[in-house]
């Protein structure tokens, strides 16, 4: 099979472990977590015990030192729990926030946050988006001002994944009066720091078991060692982080699309209509053929892009293509799967409707479709359409 070009037996062992974990330990609780609109943080501690949070981290911090494909198979298979919470919460923590600390943090910061983080004992979030600032990262208004040896942080963040549960936040703030992208820096802000609070947990159309919150920073005093990386280099650090975030987001969407396809095939193989099974009707077979083609296209694009990243590349346009295709595939395949289920698909007792609702936000988070197209278009035009 073509996957053998990219995956070792170790990767497949990880896949089997995560599939078993998702189906046996997570899926039985999916409905409960969705109803509560919160997944217990114990799930991350369990993932830490299984070694799933530190797959790509060095051994000295409790990781396994594996490659990007180890993470991809994890996030593909977590979709089998049929709720967005586990993949969303774990990805924000281990694949979005913590990599910034590994890449740009001091040794003291790595010891303080990475070690317990990879065990699932401390949970992280990344706070970038603001009420008036979404895709335009350079327009951030949250401000950190020097105060003696430390800083004072003021501002607000919104749509922050893991915001309600996080033990610490990696916050992007303006540290220079100079406008645009040149005056931004990252700070690590711990829960319980005076002036830092969760303003409210947000209600969403989907992904109910993954918490999303508004955060408020009111005269938050931070020590000098709260600065993460270089002062005024936060924009560039964020752009570096976006690349892996988008690849992992694509893996989540590929996994979600595969589950939707499997549910559609299973339903069509048992549902009687017009004197036979749905699967025997040409119109259904052709729809399923199109769904399978879109899933396979997105998956192969994901794997070939990940191979380029593993080989040392940072192919921003290819990663954007991967994210764009996977997000739209997840939504379209889930929509087709719901259509095949008919009225039952729209009922909350059937998981396909949740996959459909959960998939919609994929075209917004980690870079909207429009931003992905802008990145792709600039590179294609810059190269005159040539490779």
The set of catalytic residues is 245
Who contacts 219 (Cβ-Cβ below 8 Å, separation ≥6)?
A: 152, 153, 154, 195
Q: What is the distance between the terminal CA atoms of the chain, rounded to a whole angstrom?
A: 27
**Taking Cα atoms as reference points, which of 34, 209, 32, 61 lies closest to residue 121?**
61
* Burial of 349 per CB tally in 10 Å (0-12, 13-18, 19+): exposed
Which 3 state secondary structure label does DSSP give 274? coil
34: its two tokens: 């969705």
Closest C-alpha to 302, from 262, 335, 236, 258: 258
Contact status, residue 26 vs residue 90, Cβ threshold 8 Å: no
70 burial (CB, 10 Å; 0-12 / 13-18 / 19+) is: buried
SS3 337: helix
> What φ, ψ does residue 208 adopt, rounded to 5°?
-65, -35
Report the C-alpha gap between 81 and 14 in whole angstroms. Answer: 16
Determine which helix (DSSP H) or strand (DSSP E) holds 222, and give its type and residue range: strand 212-222
CA neighbor of 121 nearest in space, from 185, 81, 165, 153? 165
Count, residues in the chain: 387
Element (H, E) at 171: strand 168-174
CA distance 124 to 144: 20
Pairing of strands 168-174, 184-190: antiparallel
Tokens of 132: 């008036």
Q: Name the residue among 135, 72, 89, 127 with its Cα closest to residue 366.
A: 135
Virtual CA dihedral for 212, 216, 220, 226, nearest 10 degrees?
A: 30
Residues near 261 by beta carbon (within 8 Å), at least 6 away in sequence = 288, 291, 292, 295, 333, 337
């Amino acid at each position: 099979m073509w996957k053998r070009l990219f995956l070792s037996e170790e990767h497949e062992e990880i896949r089997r472990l995560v599939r078993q974990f998702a189906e046996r330990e997570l899926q039985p609780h999916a409905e409960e977590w969705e109803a509560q609109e919160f997944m217990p943080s114990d799930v991350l501690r369990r993932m830490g015990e299984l070694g799933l949070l530190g797959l790509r981290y060095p051994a000295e911090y409790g990781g396994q030192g594996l490659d990007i494909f180890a993470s991809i198979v994890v996030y593909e298979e977590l979709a089998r729990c049929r709720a967005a919470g586990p993949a969303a919460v774990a990805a924000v923590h281990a694949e979005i926030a913590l990599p910034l600390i590994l890449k740009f943090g001091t040794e003291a910061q790595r010891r303080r946050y990475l070690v317990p983080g990879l065990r699932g004992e401390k949970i992280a979030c990344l706070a970038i988006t603001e009420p008036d600032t979404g895709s335009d990262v350079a327009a951030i208004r949250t401000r950190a001002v020097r105060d003696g040896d430390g800083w004072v942080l003021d501002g607000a963040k919104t749509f922050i994944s893991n915001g309600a549960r996080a033990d610490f936040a990696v916050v992007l703030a303006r540290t220079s009066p100079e406008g645009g992208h040149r005056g931004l820096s990252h700070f690590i802000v711990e829960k319980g720091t005076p002036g830092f609070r969760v303003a409210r947990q947000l209600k969403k159309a989907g992904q109910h078991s993954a918490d999303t919150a508004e955060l408020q920073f009111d005269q938050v005093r931070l020590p000098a060692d709260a600065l993460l990386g270089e002062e005024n280099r936060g924009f560039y650090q964020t752009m570096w982080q976006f690349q892996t975030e988008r690849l992992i987001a694509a893996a989540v969407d590929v996994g979600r699309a595969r589950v939707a396809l499997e549910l559609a095939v299973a339903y069509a193989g048992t549902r009687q209509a017009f004197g036979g099974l749905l699967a025997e009707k040409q119109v259904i077979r052709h729809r399923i053929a199109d769904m399978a083609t879109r899933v396979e296209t997105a998956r192969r694009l994901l794997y070939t892009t990940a191979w380029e990243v593993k080989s040392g590349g940072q192919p921003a346009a290819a990663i954007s293509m991967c994210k764009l295709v996977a997000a739209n595939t997840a939504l379209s395949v889930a929509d087709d799967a719901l259509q095949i289920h008919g009225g039952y698909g729209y009922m909350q007792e059937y998981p396909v409707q949740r996959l459909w609702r959960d998939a919609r936000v994929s075209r917004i988070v980690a870079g909207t479709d429009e931003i992905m197209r802008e990145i792709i278009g600039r590179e294609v035009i810059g190269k005159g359409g040539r490779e």
